[in-house]
Structure 1
């Protein structure tokens, strides 16, 4: 039987490993696999081959419409007329919406990279069915994110 669990790399993982060894699980039956972290920031502009679901155009489109409407309304009062002021409002709205969304995504990605920890998958092998429940209890007590049991037979 294989018991597979995922952990953040922390002191609780080290304590769990020590407790497993104290409960007659040999070190050769334990495998800890740290995952590599993404080191480069995600791209802000999508291409035809890469899209992550974030868009810089939505806020620009909304603000462009709002400022264009306001420009056309107040353009009747101002000197250049409603068409010119609507186009000026559209340009201001598009640029400001793009910049707001770009700054928001940039700070969001910066925060997520600074807080991300390395994740570790822990695989424990045992032939005895009686030890499975004890191993699961130990792993859950030490903050496992997820856990599964895989039977070879």
Structure 2
């Protein structure tokens, strides 16, 4: 039987491993795999196959539409006319919307990126009679999640 647990990368995983060894689980039957923290740059546009939930085009589209409408309305009073006024409003709106979205997204993502630590997957090979004790020990040492697979 294999028991899987996920821990934050901190002292609790070391305490869990040493507690399992004290309770009779051999060191060779315990495997700890640290996961790498993924840092990804923001994409300007989400695609069908890859979406990170952050799209910088949305704000640009909204502000572009609003300023294009205002540029068209005010364009009737300008020498260049409503079409050029609408195009100028569109360009200014898209540029300012993308810039504003980028600044707001960078500001929101910074604290969560710094506070998020890497995680560690702990795999323990044990017998069915030891499974309850191992699962309880891992939960007592603040495992984020625990799962088990029966070998048959």
TM-score interval (norm. to shorter): 0.7 to 0.9
Deviation for aligned residue 1:77: 4.5
Task: Give 5+ residue unaligned stretches, structure 1.
Answer: none
Partner of 1:118: 118
In the aligned structure 1, how far is the partner of 2:102 from the partner of 2:49?
A: 18
Counterpart of 1:7? 7
RMSD between superposed Cα atoms in Å: 2.5
* SS of residue in 1 equivalent to 2:143: coil
Question: Would you say 1:92 and 2:92 are equivalent positions?
Answer: yes
Superposition TM-score, scaled by structure 1 size:
0.82
TM-score (norm 2): 0.83
Distance 1:87 1:48 in 2: 26
Deviation of 1:60 after TM superposition, in Å, equals 0.8
Q: Alpha-carbon deviation of 1:107?
A: 3.9
Correspondence for 1:41: 40
Contact 1:42 1:109 in 2 (8 A): no
Distance 1:90 1:47, change over 3 A: closer
SS at structure 2 position matched to 1:114: helix
Q: Counterparts of 2:88 and 2:2 in 1: how far apart (Å)?
A: 65
Q: Tell me the SS of whatever aligns to 2:4.
A: strand
**CA shift in 2, pair 1:47/1:136, >3 Å:** closer
| Long gaps (5+) in structure 2 | none
Measure, in 1, the Cα distance between the counterparts of 2:65 and 2:48.
29
Verify: 1:140 aligned to 2:139, yes or no. Answer: yes
